[in-house]
Amino acid sequence: MSLIVSPQQFTRRAELYHQLNQFTSAGIPIVRALEQIKRNPPAASYREPLQRLIDEIGKGATLAESLQSLDWLPEFDLALIGAGEKSGRLDACFRTLTDYYNDRARVIRQVISQLIYPVVLIHFVVFVFVIVLPFARSQFNASLPLLFAEAALLLSPLYGAGAVLVYATQSKHGEKWRALVESVLRLVPLLGKARHYLALSRLASALEALISAGVNIFEAWDLAATASGSAALRREVTAWKPQLAAGQMPSEAVQQCPFFPETFANLYASGEISGKLDESLLNLNRLYHEDGTRKLNNFAALMPRLIYFLVALVIAYEVIQFYTGRLQEINDASQQLFR
């Protein structure tokens, strides 16, 4: 997997899952579906892992086991596919993954398109106030290479922060690292809440599929927590095992866990009591997916405005400094003139 996962790569992965959803929904066996996709894959680089996947399944392994041995897809995908295979609802699993990667690609494209102008503006401001104006003030005697080096030094935190963000959000890191990144991002307004809600949505979707397929409720919770893609959520659910084994109901554990909002806990408990847990989980999936997506879109729209505001502050500060300096020069010149 490449260091930087681009929106195009997310789109290609969404296309792969879309094709798998189409074939499996039509009742086509998974091997035939993979062979068909291999003839015209979303990207040429998919042919080799698809062939290896077909070979592994041909040896008698399940789809989830074959994918696990390939080390091709992120852990989140593997968990959701495993849950879908166990529940007998692979088509729904592939549809969920299609929506997930299409959403990620769309949000990233939206953020990039809205950040292009602010980033160009930041570079323009640095160029004017760090290179052009100092060069003009020195009556063109300043060293241009030195001024460019100063501008590069000033911009280095921006590039460094971007590189760290790209590296930190890659999906191949271990669970401890992802838990750390998740705890940091949770503090970011809108983004933290959006990621949390989308994780709850994926958990509800996987849990509904597993329960509807007759999987034991305790095992279903364990698999669904993994499929949520949230390391913190998985850690919380894993900590319940002793209490659940002692006879505590999942609804009681959910209500006692601060990770789950009150709405989630109440709807889950009502579904458990009424015997309509599958309906409650479908409602929870829809509710938190819509709310999480809305918050994610708001965050994507807010980021450029924040940058505009910061750039405006920098420009205002530099303009004030410039005119303050000019006024001081005029004042000094007038004092020398009248001496």
pLDDT digit string (tens) for 217-234?
A: 888 888 888 878 788 888
Do 114-339 and 7-98 fall under one CATH topology? yes
pLDDT at residue 117 tops 80: no
> Domain coordinates of the chain in residue numbers?
7-98, 114-339
The torsion of the CA quartet 211, 239, 65, 41, rounded to 10 degrees, works out to 80
Q: How far is CA 68 from the centre of its chain?
A: 22
pLDDT band at 19 (very low <50, low <70, confident <90, very high): very high
Nearest residue to 229 (alpha-carbon basis) of 263, 179, 273, 279:
179
pLDDT at residue 280 tops 90: yes
Nearest residue to 245 (alpha-carbon basis) of 219, 271, 212, 209:
219
- How many angstroms separate the CA atoms of 87 and 213, rounded? 5
Collect contacts of 212-215 with beta carbons under 8 A, ≥24 apart: 212/87, 212/89, 212/278, 213/86, 213/87, 213/88, 213/89, 215/86, 215/87
Quick one: tokens of 266? Answer: 């109440």
pLDDT at residue 170 tops 70: no
Q: What is the mean pLDDT of the chain?
A: 82
Are 202 and 227 contacting, i.e. CB atoms less than 8 angstroms apart?
A: yes
**pLDDT for 173:** 57
Nearest residue to 115 (alpha-carbon basis) of 244, 301, 323, 334:
301
- How many angstroms separate the CA atoms of 125 and 314, rounded? 8
pLDDT band at 1 (very low <50, low <70, confident <90, very high): very low
- DSSP of 18-80, one letter per residue? HHHHHHHHTT--HHHHHHHHHHS-SSGGGHHHHHHHHHHHHTT--HHHHHHHHT-S-HHHHHH
272 CB-contact burial (10 Å; exposed 0-12 / middle 13-18 / buried 19+): middle
Structural fold of domain 114-339: Receptor-associated Protein (1.20.81)
The contacts of residue 196 (CB under 8 Å, 6+ apart) are 186, 230, 292
H/E element, 219: helix 217-227
pTM here is 0.66
At the second CATH level, the architecture of 7-98 is: Up-down Bundle (1.20)
Tell me 260's DSSP state: S
Tell me the per-residue pLDDT of 227-277, one tens digit each, with 9 for 90 and over: 787 888 888 888 888 888 888 888 999 998 888 999 999 999 999 899 888
